[in-house]
Amino acid sequence: MDTPINPNELIKANSRYLRGTLKQSVADAATGALSADDAQISKFHGFYEQDDRDQRVERQSQFLEPYYSFMLRARLPGGVCTPKQWLAIDAVGRELGNGTIRLTTRQTFQYHGILKRNLKPLIQRINQAMIDSIGGCGDVNRNVLCNSNPEHSALHAEVYQWAQRISEHLLPKTRAYHEIWLDGEPVAGGESEPLYGETYLPRKFKTAVAVPPHNDVDVYTNDLGFVAIADGEKLLGFNVLVGGGMGATHDDATTFPRLADELGFIPPEQTLAVAAAVVSVQRDHGDRVSRRHARLKYTIERMGLDAFVAEVEQRAGLRFAPSRHVQFTSQGDRYGWVEDGEGRWHLTLFIENGRVADLPGASLMSGLREIAEIHQGDFRITANQNLIVAGVPAEQKAAVTELARHHGLLPDTQSPTRLASIACVALPTCPQAMAEAERYFPELLEKIEALAMRHGIVRQAIVMRMTGCPNGCARPYVAEVGLIGKGPGRYNLQLGGDGTGLRLNRLYRRNLNEKELLETLDSLFSLYVANRLSNERFGDFVIRREMVKPVINPAEDYHETA
């Protein structure tokens, strides 16, 4: 091949199974950063180098390097952790991070603002709590999502175990992590990565497990998806999905969000074999020249679905049965208390944009800590950046409710749209951000709520998602209203999601500032109110009225505008 392979591939190949020169980089006291190569390798260990973009310019004039710090993302399959673990997570966040915890759209948590010298202590502390960050980021399988709907706890328990097993099965085997951070014995050599090989995957890889009718994990946006087929509380198997993904680049038609294709149905025991097979096909056929086109979705577009399926069946040594019929009815969380089959109760709390912090008026961090101190069940982080207090005995409901209310964790005062919406992190930590998201979305929502109020639709949920760039970390392309950062204070407006994560939206207006955005929504809302069918969702309305054309095949038609 005459086209040069991507530099990242060399970095991986030379890293001696992800060791690189991380030890030296961390020991170098003259800079808060890592060497450029180590900054790539570090991702496989679960952390990213970042710098406070608010301070960049000023520090440059002060002869100071950027204010470097690190973001660490834990591996937490299905987002489940115990109260004891939460107390550790909380303490570490206060002592070694920037004092906040960030629940993510992939059901785990992140610390921001970790100073280099605190990396090792922090990683050791979370590992003492039996939580690691291996493959939290990097070109490997990421945190495995699992439906967190608590109503069917028996089924959930079984499905959740599969999520855990997939996560373990697809974990890198290198000892680098233990060696560097946990003072594990250096490996004598002869190390290998049976599944990944020494260059790992061409790109990140994401897996989710869904339990219909809830699509809270947006299973179709993952590289690999498992849709649980159950008979009541009994798991029969999974419909397997491949080739979903959100990330795109503004105005680059060769990149696009894509919903996963169905491969077919498998019994539970074939789950790991299929997962490994899909990963290995992507390993061998994925694009190692252009990272922009390296995700599985592009591999499948290139190979063609049939060839891909054949390859997977051959490697997994099985044949897919026809997919079973399923129906999804929602992609948001189900808030408040619900009781499961065994008489235990579950409370879904509202954590706006997943940011757990103590702020004037909302002491979320203290609140969750106090709940964790009395709670005996477990916690579940949802793919909508919320937290479920799961498995509460009836007699403790009151106490938990009281704490939650006192610390502003209850959803009841929020509008349905706010409860259905999410935003990514963006500024100041995200190096990719072109516009604000987490820091700005709440105040924008207030203005949108005011609009909805005037149009009399404030009691109705519209799934709105904002990201600071087109990478799509809040999965905005499956929202009824997607706001994609384009530049400071400017967003692309996307319309047409179906509220269940089964339909991509489409670009409706480019580069709007707040005023233009609100005016546009204002007129859309009045049209909607005037012409909607009875309980027709906003996303469905704009499609029916052909305000935006539905996306049939994103590879061809995604970049056509309305």
Partner 1 sequence: MQNRARSAVGFPPHPLDGLQFSRLQQAVQGLNHEQLAWASGYLAGLGALEPTSARAANESPAMTILYATQGGNARSVAEALADSATARGYAPRLIAADQYRPRDLAKERLLVAVISTQGEGEPPESAHELFKFLKSRKTPRLDGLHYAVFGLGDSSYEFFNRAAKELDALLQATGAEALLARIDADVDFQPLSAQWQTQLLREVEKVQPEQSRVIPLQPAPSASRNDRNHPYQAELLERRRITTADAVAEVHHLALEIDAEAIRYRPGDALGLFFRNDPTLVEEILSLTGLAGETPVSRGETPLSLEQALSERLELTQLHPSVAKAWAGVAGDAKLSALSEDAGRLRRFAGERQFIDLLQAYPAQVDADRLVALLHSQQPRLYSIASSQAAYEDEIHLTVSTLRYQAHARDHLGGASGFLTRRIAEGDKLGVYVAENPGFRLPQTNDTPIIMVGAGTGVAPYRAFLQEREAAGASGANWLVFGNRHFHRDFLYQSDWLNYRKQGLLNRISLAFSRDEGDRTYVQARLYEEGAELYRWLQEGAHLYVCGGIAMERAVRQSLQGIAQAQGGLDEEAADEYIESLREQGRYQRDVY
Interface residue list for ligand SF4 (CB under 6 A): 424-426, 430, 432-433, 437, 467-469, 471-473
Cβ neighbours, 10 Å, residue 108? 25
**Residues from 123 through 142 that contact partner 1 (CB under 8 A):** none
Q: What is the dihedral of CA 288, 293, 298, 304, to 10 degrees?
A: -60
C-alpha R_g of the chain = 23
424 carries an active-site annotation:
yes
Establish if 73 lies at the interface with ligand SRM (CB under 6 A).
Answer: yes
Half-sphere exposure of residue 307: CA atoms within 13 angstroms, side-chain side: 9
Residue of 557, 562, 556 whose CA lies nearest to 542: 562
Q: What is the dihedral of CA 277, 278, 284, 286, to 10 degrees?
A: 180
With CB cut-offs between 5 and 8 Å by kind, which of ligand SRM, partner 1, ligand SF4, none does residue 48 bind? ligand SRM
Q: CA-to-CA distance for 207 and 228, rounded, in angstroms?
A: 13
One-character DSSP codes across 387-427: EEEEEE-GGGHHHHHHHHHHTT--GGGS-HHHHH-EE---T
**Residues from 94 through 123 that contact partner 1 (CB under 8 A):** 117
Q: Output the CA torsion sign for 233, 146, 438, 447.
A: negative
Tell me the residue type at 318: L
With CB cut-offs between 5 and 8 Å by kind, which of ligand SRM, partner 1, ligand SF4, none does residue 467 bind? ligand SF4
Among 142, 156, 214, 380, binds ligand SRM (CB under 6 A): 142
Which candidate in 430, 465, 486, 503 is catalytic? 430
297 carries an active-site annotation:
no
137 carries an active-site annotation:
no
Tell me the residue type at 69: S
Q: Which lies closer to partner 1 via its Cβ, residue 62 or residue 327? A: 62
Q: What is the dihedral of CA 150, 156, 162, 163, to 10 degrees?
A: -10
Establish if 62 lies at the interface with partner 1 (CB under 8 A).
Answer: yes
Stretch that binds ligand SRM, among 52-60, 184-192, 468-476, 479-487 (CB under 6 A): 468-476
Q: CB of 69: closest distance to partner 1 in angstroms?
A: 9
Q: Which lies closer to ligand SRM via its Cβ, residue 22 or residue 144? A: 144
Q: CB of 429: closest distance to partner 1 in angstroms?
A: 16
Among 10, 13, 60, 431, binds partner 1 (CB under 8 A): 60
Instruction: Give 423's strand partners.
Output: 466
Among 24, 31, 249, 513, binds partner 1 (CB under 8 A): 31
Which candidate in 380, 424, 503, 537 is catalytic? 424
CB burial readout 284-314, b (16+ within 10 A) else e: ebbbbeebbbbbbbbbbbeeeeeebbebbbe
146 carries an active-site annotation:
no
Q: CA-to-CA distance for 104 and 136, rounded, in angstroms?
A: 11
Among 12, 19, 156, 204, binds ligand SRM (CB under 6 A): 204
Q: CB of 484: closest distance to ligand SF4 in angstroms?
A: 8
- Count of residues near ligand SRM by CB under 6 A: 31
Which candidate in 19, 203, 206, 418 is catalytic? 206
Stretch that binds partner 1, among 62-70, 169-177, 224-232, 412-420 (CB under 8 A): 62-70
Q: Exposed, middle or buried by CB within 10 Å (0-12, 13-18, 19+), for 319?
A: exposed
Q: For residues 465 and 218, is the Cβ–Cβ distance under 8 A?
A: no
Q: CB of 36: closest distance to partner 1 in angstroms?
A: 11
Which candidate in 81, 137, 146, 473 is catalytic? 473
Q: Which lies closer to ligand SF4 via its Cβ, residue 149 or residue 505? A: 505
Q: CB of 342: closest distance to ligand SRM in angstroms?
A: 30
CB burial readout 45-71, b (16+ within 10 A) else e: bbbbbbbbbeeeeeeeeeeeebbbbbb
Establish if 69 lies at the interface with ligand SRM (CB under 6 A).
Answer: no
Q: CA-to-CA distance for 58 and 5, rounded, in angstroms?
A: 37
473 carries an active-site annotation:
yes
Residue of 508, 506, 512, 521 whose CA lies nearest to 557: 506
With CB cut-offs between 5 and 8 Å by kind, which of partner 1, ligand SRM, ligand SF4, none does residue 62 bind? partner 1
142 carries an active-site annotation:
yes
With CB cut-offs between 5 and 8 Å by kind, which of partner 1, ligand SRM, ligand SF4, none does residue 30 bind? partner 1
**Residues from 383 through 402 that contact ligand SRM (CB under 6 A):** 385
| Contact footprint for partner 1 (CB under 8 A) | 29-32, 59-65, 67, 117
Residues labelled catalytic:
73, 142, 204, 206, 424, 430, 469, 473
